[in-house]
Amino acid sequence: MINDYTRRKVAVQDTQACYLCHKPTNVVLYNQSGPDWFYTCELHLQNNPQFAVPVYGAEYESILKKMKETKELLNKQVTSKGGVGNWDGWVNKLISSRKSKDDDKEADKKDDQKDDTQDAERQEPDLQKQYDMLLDKLTEIKSKNKKYKLSDMMFQNRVDLKERERLRRIRIQKEQEQYSNTDPVELETKFQFPSIPQTTPNKKV
């Protein structure tokens, strides 16, 4: 049996007790390789790595990678050439430099910063929109996910349970075969059944 479970929902009339908390639920985790299945509450599948973790596909990993790259580009846009590492620090430095009345070199520096600001203002909305779209797609994939992997301890418990059930079925099958294959004559030789008492007829005097 492999650790690969699919979340399914059954009809309300088929609701049964949760495997963990014994509350009524219509959510089932099904493992085709067992086969194995059990009921669980939806809540137990959310942020509960000690029980089960969601398994996402290649699309999820690809979007996650693109989001990381886009976030890095956004962070670079709020970093000035002078090395200010966040948006607030960069804006404060830009405002203070505009207010200063220094020499021509400072004026050139202000012009460069102004150009950088304009470029960032043109590029940032596009990157932010791209990041938001990726985030929405990631959220959609999470909400539609049906694949889960049990924690090592939980999966081993399921494997042990299935093995005990298998051995029990084998034992019952053997008992039934032994009973059905018993020869009645053999039973008579092995066991002594009580005989019916014999009565003598009454003699007339």
- What does the pLDDT look like over 29-64, one tens digit per residue? 999 988 999 999 999 998 899 999 999 988 999 999
Indicate the pLDDT class of residue 173, thresholds 50, 70 and 90: confident
With a CB cutoff of 8 Å and minimum separation 6, the contacts of 67 are 131, 134, 135, 138
- Please check the confidence at residue 84 and state whether its pLDDT lies above 60: no
Domain range summary for the chain, segments of one domain joined by +: 1-55+145-178, 56-80+125-144
CB 4 within 8 Å of CB 149 = yes
For all residues of the chain together, what is the average pLDDT? 79
Residue 101 has pLDDT above 60, yes or no: no
The per-residue pLDDT for 47 is 87
Question: What are the CA-CA distances from residue 77 to residues 127, 131, 134 (Å)?
Answer: 10, 14, 19
The burial of 79, by beta-carbon neighbours within 10 Å (0-12 exposed, 13-18 middle, 19 or more buried), is given as middle
DSSP string, 96-160: HHHH----HHHHHHHHHHHHHHHHHHHHHHHHHHHHHHHHHHHHHHHHH--EEEE-HHHHHHHHH
Amino acid at the residue 69: E
pLDDT at 100: 55
Q: Which of 135, 159, 153 is nearest to 53 (CA)?
A: 153
Provide CB contacts within 8 A for 85, sequence distance 6+. 79
Q: Which residue has the tokens 């005989």?
A: 195
- Whether 45 and 148 have beta carbons less than 8 Å apart is answered as yes
Cα separation of the two ends of the chain: 86
